[in-house]
Amino acid sequence: MATYHALTDAAMTPLERAHLDLVRRLAGQCMVVLENDGTLPLAEPCPVALFGNGARATVKGGTGSGDVNARFTVSVEEGLEAAGFTVTTKDWLDAQAALTRRLHQDYWTAVEAEAARTGQEPMFVSWAAPFVPQEITPFSAASNPAGETAVYVLARNSGEGADRFRSPGDYQLLPGELALLTELGRRYKRLIVLLNVGGVVDAAAIRAVPGVSALVLIGQSGAMGGHAVADVLLGKTDPSGRLASTWAKTYADYPAAATFSHNGGQWHEAYYRESIYVGYRYFDTFGVEPLYPFGYGLGYASFSRETVEADADEHGVRLQVRVVNTGTRPGREVVQVYAAAPYYALEKPRQVLTAFGKTGLLAPGEAETLSLTFPLERLESFSAERCAYVLERGDYLIRVGRHSRDTEPVLRLRLDGDAETRRVRHICPLEEPMETLSRRSAPVPAEERAEPPTVILAADRIPAETVAYAGEPAPLPEPDAGHIITLADVRAGRYTLEQLTAQLTVAELADLCVGAARAGEAGAGQVVGRGARAVPGAAGDITPRLAYRGVPGMVNADGPAGLRLAPRFRVTAAGEILAPSKAFSEYLEEFPPKAEGDVDYYQFCTAIPVASLLACSWDLELLETMGDLVGAEMARYGVRTWLAPGMNLHRDPLCGRNFEYFSEDPVLSGLCAGAEVRGVQRHPGADGCIKHFFANNQEDNRMSVNEHIDEQALRELYLRNFALAIETGSPASLMTSYNLVNGVHTANSYDAITAYAREEHGFSGFVMTDWSTSSAEITALVSRPDSYHRCASSPACIRAGNDLQMPGTQENVDDIIAAVEDGTLPVGCLQRCALRILAAVLRDPMFETIHCNTGGAI
């Protein structure tokens, strides 16, 4: 009978309890105080009039694969009451809950009707049109809203498969929400507004409401969000978060706003005409004043900074920054380092983030000196003309400060000539010329008056390299073994992994390079949420057809806010697994009555804060700790690969999946991802999988949209974050995205997967597709009816170095075999993909316990 890592007791374990306590403690450190007139922190618990659609229905995280089936979610209402607050508006909260239930019932009726009409599963229909309630209960529903303090929780949610809208109820506030906030501002001495959101909303409208005392971004903070909020309001936790993306005064200020996704009415072709000018790189360069700048946050303490040492050489920059808590409360400060490069021939933003650091918790009057360093490559730009990364001659100004709009120069680097740091090959060429934004149209910034110390750098002493690219892999020579080579033989040193791979037939190689969710294997055709037999609710597994060679499964599971598994499943006396058909919290079904001999199993995982909030911590140690938490649960439940972290950039705030991603900046994003992966991979056999590689910035028509991006923007933004994650985290795997870039599916992009990730940046793990990328049936099902881009090609995935196609269809296998047989797919490419998968399997510490046949004849 099969064995499972899941528990047979539903009681909370010490591990689960410790993880929940950890999430509570760390989530508050990610929260960002945007406005505060001195109201916060509150001196003690008090009566509060609690309002807002997120007060009771607090959103722990986004929908889709980023969801987590946690045991529970602590709402803001529950968190405040547990902390000693008295909620005086229970009748309003009851009325709002009843309204939400009615609106959701109407919504779900419409979803089921659309599913019946189109032949889709209701789950996919709902992903394409998420529930966005368009009503809010009026103030009059509160019969006795006593107290001097009102707390309003504004909630928004989004998920994969659909982008957000700039309309009321989403980016904008509903008229009823603004009316209610206005009434609260008039009636109460203190009005605290909490933003329970995974992305940007129209905070300017909230700030304009008279009487708002404090505005706090609490984000989507996981299972313990309500407790973390109470701790922040009472000052038990210092909310030391800083924004990881720019918040504009109006949505139209974002450079892609006019044409992003459905805004421009063009779902099939996305033109990145803003090029490298994304987020603060646009706002700071073109003189557009944001509402809240990149890196902004108040906290409860105040600080002074002094750069006590600044030096540089041809390898990098070294700074020592002394921070003193000048306030009256303990707190943590984030020190941010930006660099302004000389602007000559190459397009460059006014400044870019190069490094950052965060102090420990400093008592009033306490000081700490941070050592901040960064390599000169953080200053380089890509020259398409030279096909090289270049440091242009001239002055580089290094600035230190609190956020992108509050810095001071501390060092000037004077480069005596141009330096090519890396010569590379062109990748991902545009299909046709595209006019892009130029800094030449931007206002000229005021001349810098400060004169920081100057360091002269010699261009001819700066290290340079020319990347060597490998050609097409040759077929492996078949060994003269005389018997079936197994992984146990390889582990024992009797044969090499190459010899085992060479002995596999083309059909076996194709099987290995296609996931197990096909007829007769795990999931039997399920696309998501049921792709692995050994761990119900996991996303996928590799084929069991090589078990005779001792090749075990390799279970992978979503998602970026914690493991998404079936919280409960049942194994009957006959060995049949009864589990939810879709492991998403909104779609979990009830179990039938338990029969004699049935065994129930439990897999309660911890919902951590979403990535967009974790990045606001600006604390790589915190990110690594969160990764460590997930890695421990992977080891507990037998999950090999965590399909996370997600790390695409916040190109536009309406991307439906921004909550899964860290930031608008590639350095902050890449370093956060690298830290989280390091935490996961502390646990032997637990692997991180960075995703979605690359430029996955639109969810509408996501499987068929073609992103047009110039090479400089690709290399400096949309690929750079992945390169940093690879260099700092050494992730074991990487997942490609659904979209095309410049006419080529990312899953089929040799340029990105092999040339860039592997050969330019040393990625040594295996690559997998996103789910059903190479499935014509699923692509047609979820794409817009007028889509004209076909799905990714299975043979082209292999040729590009995309090793594993998930969750796997028989069509994928057949297409690969046919391509090898007709000579369009070299067998050496297929062997190389299989070799990388087997190498990953071989790293599993559980391998020693796997039974295999070591003596069978071929």
Q: Which two tokens stand for residue 443?
A: 């206002």
What residue type is assigned to position 368 of the chain? E
- For residue 609, pLDDT over 50 is answered with yes
For position 122, what pLDDT does the model report?
Answer: 85
Per the domain annotation, does 442 fall within a domain?
A: yes
> How far is CA 313 from each of CA 318, 396, 462, rounded to the nearest angstrom?
9, 13, 9
For position 449, what pLDDT does the model report?
Answer: 78
Per the domain annotation, does 329 fall within a domain?
A: yes
Where helices occur in 564-708 by DSSP H, the ranges are 611-614, 620-637, 666-680
Do 594 and 531 have their domain in common?
Answer: no
Do 197 and 317 have their domain in common?
Answer: no
Do 528 and 385 have their domain in common?
Answer: no
What residue type is assigned to position 135 of the chain? E
Average pLDDT rounded to a whole number, residues 576-587: 67
Within 13 Å, how many C-alpha atoms sit on residue 205's CB side? 21
Residue 228 confidence class, pLDDT cut points 50, 70, 90: very high
Q: Residues 488, 478: contact at Cβ < 8 Å?
A: no
State the pairing for strand pair 419-423/388-391.
antiparallel
Give 154's strand partners.
Answer: 195
Residue 522 confidence class, pLDDT cut points 50, 70, 90: low
Per the domain annotation, does 322 fall within a domain?
A: yes
Domain of 584, in residue numbers: 568-602
The residue among 222, 239, 256 that closes a domain is 239
The residues, ordered by sequence, that sit 6+ positions from 444 with a Cβ below 8 Å of its Cβ are none
Residue range 334-387, pLDDT digits in tens: 999 999 999 999 999 999 999 999 999 999 999 999 999 999 999 999 999 999
Residue 514 confidence class, pLDDT cut points 50, 70, 90: very high
Identify the CA nearest to 165 among candidates 195, 199, 196: 199
Average pLDDT rounded to a whole number, residues 846-857: 42
Do 534 and 457 have their domain in common?
Answer: no
The residue among 204, 239, 274 that closes a domain is 239
Do 222 and 329 have their domain in common?
Answer: no
Do 381 and 305 have their domain in common?
Answer: yes
Output the average pLDDT for the chain: 94
Average pLDDT rounded to a whole number, residues 1-17: 91
Do 309 and 427 have their domain in common?
Answer: yes
Average pLDDT rounded to a whole number, residues 491-498: 95
Helix axes 620-637, 14-30, angle to 10 degrees: 160
Q: Residues 159, 130: contact at Cβ < 8 Å?
A: yes
Residue range 263-304, pLDDT digits in tens: 987 789 999 999 999 999 999 999 999 999 999 999 999 999
For position 226, what pLDDT does the model report?
Answer: 99
Per the domain annotation, does 223 fall within a domain?
A: yes
Name the 3-class secondary structure at 685: coil
Per the domain annotation, does 719 fall within a domain?
A: no
Do 67 and 155 have their domain in common?
Answer: yes
Residue range 191-225, pLDDT digits in tens: 999 999 999 999 999 999 999 999 999 999 999 99
Average pLDDT rounded to a whole number, residues 546-565: 94
What CATH code is carried by the domain that includes residue 186? Answer: 3.40.50.1700
Q: Residues 771, 526: contact at Cβ < 8 Å?
A: no
- For residue 581, pLDDT over 60 is answered with no
Per the domain annotation, does 821 fall within a domain?
A: yes
Do 99 and 219 have their domain in common?
Answer: yes
- For residue 804, pLDDT over 80 is answered with yes
Q: Which residue has the higher pLDDT, 396 or 788?
A: 396
Mean pLDDT is lowest, of 10-24, 91-105, 459-473, 767-781, for 767-781
For position 530, what pLDDT does the model report?
Answer: 56
The residue among 406, 435, 466 that closes a domain is 466
Residue range 633-668, pLDDT digits in tens: 999 999 999 999 999 999 999 999 999 999 999 999
For position 851, what pLDDT does the model report?
Answer: 35
Do 314 and 432 have their domain in common?
Answer: yes
Instruction: Sort residue 676 into left (φ over 0), alpha (ψ -120 to 50) or beta.
Output: alpha
State how far the Cα of 579 lies from the Cα of 577, in Å rounded to an integer.
Answer: 6
For position 88, what pLDDT does the model report?
Answer: 98
Total number of domains in the chain = 4
For position 529, what pLDDT does the model report?
Answer: 54
For position 587, what pLDDT does the model report?
Answer: 56
Do 220 and 299 have their domain in common?
Answer: no
